Amino acid sequence: MFYTQIHNRYWNKRKSPVKKASPTSKQLELEDIQAKSSKLAQAKTTEYISNTQQVYYLERWLFS
């Protein structure tokens, strides 16, 4: 019984936040790579949307 009282008391206790380590060169390189990857993905998505719109307008005139 004593165990269950202690266990229940700490059951919903929040854990202390994990302290972030100071940024190292590897983390900075990783962030740089992620930023470049994100920009490339955004550029490719924009290009895809543009191509899709162009195909829509060109095919719309063919089948009208």
pLDDT tens, residue by residue, 3-58: 455 555 555 566 666 666 666 778 888 999 999 999 999 999 999 999 999 998 88
Give me the pLDDT at residue 18, please. 63
Q: How confident is the model at residue 1 (pLDDT cuts 50, 70, 90)?
A: very low
In a domain, 52, yes or no: yes
In a domain, 34, yes or no: yes
In a domain, 42, yes or no: yes
pTM: 0.52
User: Residue 33: which domain range?
Assistant: 23-64
C-alpha distances out from residue 24 to 17, 21, 33, 35, Å:
20, 8, 14, 17
In a domain, 15, yes or no: no
Number of domains in the chain: 1
- 59 φ/ψ angles, rounded to the nearest 5 degrees: -75, -25
The answer to whether residue 2 scores a pLDDT higher than 60 is no
Burial readout 14-46 (b: 16 or more C-beta within 10 A, e: otherwise): eeeeeeeeeeeeeeeeeeeeeeeeeeeeeeeee
Q: Which two tokens stand for residue 1?
A: 């019984």
